[in-house]
Amino acid sequence: MPEWPLARPRPTANTPSPCVRNCCLDGEDICLGCFRSLTEITAWGSATDAERRAILCRAEQRKQQASR
């Protein structure tokens, strides 16, 4: 039996990434391509579908604010 903690199993998530391959962070660490925060981008891979939908909602709000 290994002595180190085993990796957490990856959640099944069907929500696709909003990444548009236009990665450039602003002064607040928000991507100007997908409008996710740096924290949200790094958390995406282990996020559940519910967490991903919440991230997408916040990103859409940021996008709407940026277009004003």
Does residue 13 belong to any structural domain of this protein?
no
Closest CA to 17 of 38, 30, 39, 36: 36
Each residue's pLDDT tens digit, 46-64: 999 999 999 999 999 999 9
Q: Which two tokens stand for residue 13?
A: 């998530």
Q: Is residue 6 part of a domain?
A: no
Domain total of the chain: 1
Q: Residue 49 falls within a domain, yes or no?
A: yes
In a domain, 30, yes or no: yes
* Residue 8, domain member (yes or no): no
39, part of any domain: yes
Contact 12, 19 (CB under 8 A): no
Query: Would you say residue 40 has pLDDT above 60?
Result: yes
3-state secondary structure of 30: strand
Domain assignment of residue 56, given as a range: 19-68
**Whole-model pTM?**
0.78
Q: Residue 19: name the closest of 66, 68, 55 by CA.
A: 55
